[in-house]
Chains A and B, each alone.
Chain A
Amino acid sequence: MWKRGIIGAAVIALVGAAAYASFFIAPTERTMGTIQRIFYFHAASAWAGMTAFSVCFVANLLYVWRRQTKWDALGVSAAEVGLAFITIVLITGPIWAKPVWGIYWTWDARLTSTFVLWLLYISYLLLRTLIEEPDRRALLSALFGIFAFLDVPLVFGAIRWWRTQHPAPVIMGGPGSGLEPTMRAVFFFSVLALHTLMAFLIVERYGLEKLRTELDVVRREAEVV
């Protein structure tokens, strides 16, 4: 128990340090000004969310292949955590957009594909609540999860393949793109902090799912007795 507390405190300290760096170490961007500081939280959350969905995708594939409960538990845990991160992306994006674009939202390829991704993983979680039988629920949601993941490369490619309102990529972008060295360091530090938080949340959520499986086993035993 105390170990979890120490790890939790370390994760909070890391995320706090990333926020401090975003506010006080990263230089102010010349065109957008202070509002650009949202980038360190917004884009790093998007990366962490995509990683969580990738974990979900791998777990879904492994469930279909091996039919082991642990992969179903990991899949749903990663999906919930990924959804929390993408919710943040969808909230912080419009807060950033309003002063820069003059509008909160526009239906361009990047924004729309991200919103669709959010809806797909909400559907994944809803689907799980509709099926009672555990093996059937695990298999159908794994298949749906594999389908939902198809949107992830679309979100990644949207600002590379089409002309969008959303800014062009500054990381893994074309020639001429990139970040000033301090901005780049702060961004990757934020990515590290939010990935640590993502891993911590997945482990916590996975613990809940393990407990649920244990409860199902004890319930079945109680019925037999």
Chain B
Amino acid sequence: MKNLGSVFAAYLVGWAVFFVFYLTVARRTALLREELDRLKQSMKKGS
């Protein structure tokens, strides 16, 4: 099983890229949703 470590490393790095990408999308979505809710609240109070 020569080079098995390299194969594992390749798969792990690949999954890490997907995971980090998904996390950044989820985080950006949460921040935008927060800002949208805040803005809607302040508009309600203003009207």
B-contacting residues of A (Cβ < 8 Å)? 15, 19, 23, 33-35, 37-38, 41-42, 45, 80-81, 84, 87-88, 91-92, 95-96, 98-99, 197, 201, 204-205, 207-208, 211-212, 214-215, 218-219, 221-222, 225
Contact = CB atoms under 8 A, between A and B. Distances in A.
A207 B32 CA distance: 11
A221 B32 contact: no
A208 B7 contact: no
A69 to B, nearest CB: 16
A211 B40 CA distance: 13
Tell me the dominant secondary structure on chain A's binding face. helix
A144 to B, nearest CB: 22
B3 A33 contact: yes
B25 A88 contact: no
Given A34-B1, A42-B10, A219 B39 contact: yes
B20 to A, nearest CB: 9
Given A42-B10, A211-B29, A218-B36, 14 more contacts: A15-B15, A33-B2, A33-B3, A35-B3, A41-B14, A84-B21, A95-B6, A95-B9, A96-B6, A96-B10, A201-B22, A208-B32, A222-B42, A225-B47
Given A205-B25, A208-B29, A218-B40, A92 B2 contact: no
Interface residues of B, number: 30
Nearest to A204: B25
A42 B6 CA distance: 13
A127 B6 CA distance: 36
B6 to A, nearest CB: 5
Interface in B1-47: 1-4, 6-7, 9-11, 13-15, 17-18, 21-22, 25-26, 28-29, 32-33, 35-36, 39-40, 42-43, 46-47
A214 B36 contact: yes
B6 A99 contact: yes
A201 B25 contact: yes
A45 B10 CA distance: 12
A208 B28 contact: yes
A27 B47 CA distance: 68
A109 B28 CA distance: 37
A207 B29 contact: yes
A41 to B, nearest CB: 6
A211 B35 CA distance: 10
B22 to A, nearest CB: 7
A84 B32 contact: no
24 contacts: A34-B1, A34-B3, A34-B7, A35-B2, A35-B3, A35-B6, A41-B11, A84-B17, A84-B18, A87-B17, A88-B17, A98-B6, A99-B2, A99-B3, A201-B21, A201-B25, A204-B25, A208-B28, A211-B36, A215-B35, A218-B43, A221-B43, A222-B43, A225-B43
